[in-house]
Amino acid sequence: MTTINLRQSQQAEPERFSVKNGNGGFFFSLGILIIILLILFGLKIYVPFAEGRNKALRESVLAENDKLIGLKSLERVVDMQVRLSEIKNNLQLSDGNIARLEMTKLLDHLGGDLDANIVVTDFKYDTEKIVVSFDANNFNDVAKQILNFKKSDYFTDVALSSIIRNENIIACSVDMKIKK
């Protein structure tokens, strides 16, 4: 049996096809290279323009901050006046001597009744009542601290208002009345 090749006369067509693919890939790569170069050229022009706008914006922000410095100093003066009036309310002056210093006395009594394993996180008081929030490592420390407050000569009506157990600590809040 003999095989006859009928396509012997068509030789040039596969070569042309491969040359066309090569030329098409070259122009595609050249097109991508031109696009990348245009983008880089555009960035080279845009970056100094953007930096100039950023510098102008920074200068305008600094100018506005300079205008507001007067307000900040005014706020400081008002804050200082509020603090001084609060200190004067806690102090009772008679003939240049301090007759009453309630806040430090209250803090001294509270510090004297605190256990070593307790960390006070929040502290609020008025003339009759004090609310202390503290953290402890375990429930035994919380119980000891509440017992210390109940045995205290300075606090009455000790009541546990909240207790929350977290992963590492126990957060507790206690309401008490101040003995007069």
Where are the domains positioned within the chain?
Answer: 20-94, 101-178
Q: Do residues 174 and 132 lie in contact, with contact meaning Cβ atoms separated by under 8 Å?
A: yes
Q: Is the pLDDT of residue 15 over 60?
A: no
DSSP 135-147: EESSHHHHHHHHH
Q: Do residues 114 and 73 lie in contact, with contact meaning Cβ atoms separated by under 8 Å?
A: no
pLDDT digits (tens, 9 = 90+) for 55-71: 999 999 888 877 766 66
Q: Is the pLDDT of residue 48 over 60?
A: yes
Range of weakest confidence among 3-12, 41-50, 73-82: 3-12
Q: Do residues 171 and 152 lie in contact, with contact meaning Cβ atoms separated by under 8 Å?
A: no
Q: Is the pLDDT of residue 75 over 60?
A: yes
- pLDDT value of position 82: 87
- pLDDT value of position 21: 54
pLDDT digits (tens, 9 = 90+) for 94-112: 666 665 656 677 788 888 8
User: What average pLDDT does the chain have?
Assistant: 82
Cα 99 to Cα 92: distance, rounded to the nearest angstrom: 5
User: What percentage of residues in the chain have a pLDDT greater than 90?
Assistant: 37
- pLDDT value of position 20: 54
- pLDDT value of position 165: 93
Strands, DSSP E only, in the chain? 91-94, 97-101, 119-125, 129-136, 155-165, 170-178
What's the one-letter identity of residue 174? Answer: V
Token pair belonging to 135: 């953290």
Cα 130 to Cα 162: distance, rounded to the nearest angstrom: 14
Domain 101-178 part of CATH 3.40.640.10: no
Q: Do residues 172 and 142 lie in contact, with contact meaning Cβ atoms separated by under 8 Å?
A: yes
Place of tokens 């809040």: 173
